Amino acid sequence: MQIETITTNPYNDQNPGTSGLRKKVKVFQQPGYLENFVQSIFDSLEDFSGKTLVLGGDGRYFNRVAIQIIIKIAAANGFGELIIGEGGLLSTPAASNIIRKYNAFGGLILSASHNPGGPDEDFGIKYNVSNGGPAPEKYTGAFFQRSQTISSYKTAKIEDVDLDRIGSQQIGELKITIIDPVTDYAELMQSIFDFNLLKQSISSGYITLLFDAMSAITGPYAKRILVDMLGAAPSSVINAEPLENFGGHHPDPNLAHAHELAERMFSADAPTFGAASDGDGDRNMITGSNIFVTPSDSLAIMAANARLIPAYVKGLSGVARSMPTSQAVDRVAAKYNIPCYETPTGWKFFGNLLDAGKITLCGEESFGTGSDHVREKDGLWAVLFWLNLIAVKRQSVADIVHEHWQKFGRDIYCRHDYEAVETPIANSIVEHLRNQLPTLPGQSFGEYIVKYADEFSYEDPIDGSISNNQGMRIGFENGSRIVFRLSGTGTVGATLRIYIERFEADATRHDQDSQEALAELIILAEQLCEIKKRTGRTEPNVIT
Ligand code: G1P
Ligand code: ZN
């Protein structure tokens, strides 16, 4: 194999965010941009010669081009085998599973998750380590550092690989294996859930379902598992064809973006269960006939009922949630006397806890839930968990949710996102909030008395690493919270996220609309951060 060393100049913006490096496609198309970043990753890793790298993406625009480039750089850098999903496709949780199952050294996943795709939209790349999870900060920091000084990259002079032909081929020292992207993942799901019960519940008509793949990666996975294996009607999977531009939509599973699903689920002839996933298949939105389950509630309900699922019958070793996720799961953990961890935003912070066996389930308010079966959040896993729960409990989604609130109380929750705020304004807002923190404790705002106001720092209980500046928390005496943080995944300006929650113990008040129930806190959040005042905006871009 002939290897070339190509001279290059560093780019100064290759700092990975919450989940890998995400930029506009046009940025990635600059000469050497992708090559520099991939070489920076390989330069920061050690002892991978002859080992296996997993490669795949969500199929968005530039996926195939990027995969051919990466194959050549990986070959030149001495990997022994590349395992690639057919068509260059692998969902994020499936890639995590492949890395673990085949003892790979790591993997590169090409995705900008729920961000739109197409020539003028977003692309992304992230590196996952040998446990199958996103590279921790010590790695991503090293990648960035290396990208600042890189002066050349290596590439092998080989033909483009046919990504659409399953099987192995040897090119010099390198073995390239193209696999079916779904089979291993489907087997894993079969080992976790009661597929026989699910088949019966679906064929008897007890469960009717609708899954929106949002023209993204989960289409082939949902068709194989829900339709072929579990017997759901083919029409129960919509937008099932992965498209390079996701049909022009945001492949983001929330009520705003999964509008086709939302309309059906809130109509008179709604199926019993509805769900959607995102661009790369790690997120999930759960709905039932005329009800939307917040991701924070979904995590708590899963934790409270985990023993009903075959893989978790022995109970949970612990649970974790990201800091801005509501405290609903904390109440479950307290009741069942299991440890509960609060981590910074981003799945990478769950990895050590999962590896050490400290937690079995974890989740984020941003439509992410998962367990120790892989090291990523997992959209279809969450869908199957809920289906299995409905089948065992023989209750509707609405009944399961209401019963849970009756037992534990309801953590009424919402998130307001202000997107593409000019960076200087966003920074001034953060500064303004930061300056207020020391003065807030003890202050009263109507019925809300501030108990604490701080900037969240996390010390990893396993490796002792410390992550500072993970968002500002304002906690009130009555358990309510307002959290502010800047997004680490956006590609234009800055996105301010405001997370608001209030606990309601009184079951007669559980059916309130969340925006109404949180109205006072929403006003207070504006008073504290002045986003509307400083940007002239009148409302958030997205409310979830
Ligand atoms: C967002 C979510 C976060 C999630 C990440 C990747 O990050 O808020 O919970 O882990 O996407 O899916 P953010 O843009 O807030 O940094
Ligand atoms: Zn995603």
Nearest listed ligand to the Cα of residue 379: 2
Residues 97 and 203 grouped into a single domain: no
Residues 6+ apart with CB under 8 A from 207: 198, 201, 272, 273, 387, 390, 391
From the CB of 489, is ligand 1 less than 6 Å away?
A: yes
Residues 31 and 159 grouped into a single domain: yes
Residues 403 and 414 grouped into a single domain: no
The CATH number linked to 59 is 3.40.120.10
The CATH number linked to 427 is 3.30.310.50
113 catalytic per annotation? yes
**Within 10 A of 101 (CB to CB), how many other CB atoms are there?**
16
35 CA distance to ligand 1 centroid (A)? 25
Residues 499 and 534 grouped into a single domain: yes
How many residues are present in the chain?
A: 544
H or E element at residue 522: helix 519-529
Read off the tokens for 434. Answer: 């930061």
Q: Which of 374, 408, 442 is the last residue of a domain?
A: 408
Residue to mutate, 113, 364, 495, ligand 1, most ligand atoms under 8 Å from C-beta: 364
Residues 59 and 177 grouped into a single domain: yes
Q: Could you tell me the pTM of the whole model?
A: 0.93
Q: Which of 365, 384, 408 is the last residue of a domain?
A: 408
Write the residue with the smallest CA distance to atom 2 of ligand 1: 366
In 174-324, DSSP assigns E strands to 174-179, 209-212, 237-238, 273-277, 284-288, 291-293, 319-322
In terms of residue numbers, what domain contains 215? 185-408
Q: Which of 146, 181, 216 is the last residue of a domain?
A: 181
Residues 429 and 401 grouped into a single domain: no
From the CB of 322, is ligand 1 less than 6 Å away?
A: yes
In a structure prediction context, what are the per-residue pLDDT tens digits for the chain, which is 544 residues long?
899 999 999 999 999 987 899 999 999 999 999 999 999 999 999 999 999 999 999 999 999 999 999 999 999 999 999 999 999 999 999 999 999 999 999 999 999 999 999 999 999 999 999 999 999 889 999 999 999 999 999 999 999 999 999 999 999 989 999 999 999 999 999 999 999 999 999 999 999 999 999 999 999 999 999 999 999 999 999 999 999 999 998 999 998 899 999 999 999 999 999 999 999 999 999 999 999 999 999 999 999 999 999 999 999 999 999 999 999 999 999 999 999 999 999 998 999 999 999 999 999 999 999 999 999 999 999 999 999 999 999 999 999 999 999 999 999 999 999 999 999 999 999 999 999 999 999 999 999 999 999 999 999 999 999 999 899 999 999 999 999 999 977 777 899 999 999 999 989 999 889 999 999 999 999 999 999 998 999 899 989 9
Read off the tokens for 85. Answer: 């999903």
Residues 298 and 233 grouped into a single domain: yes
Residues 425 and 346 grouped into a single domain: no
Residues 138 and 190 grouped into a single domain: no
524 CA distance to ligand 2 centroid (A)? 31
On whether the CB atoms of residues 280 and 322 are closer than 8 A, the answer is: no
Phi, psi torsion values for 160, nearest 5 degrees: -60, 145
Residues 13 and 68 grouped into a single domain: yes
Q: How many domains does the chain have?
A: 3
Residues 379 and 423 grouped into a single domain: no
What gap in Å lies between CA 148 and CA 154, rounded to an integer?
17
Nearest listed ligand to the Cα of residue 112: 2
Residues 291 and 374 grouped into a single domain: yes
What gap in Å lies between CA 430 and CA 198, rounded to an integer?
48
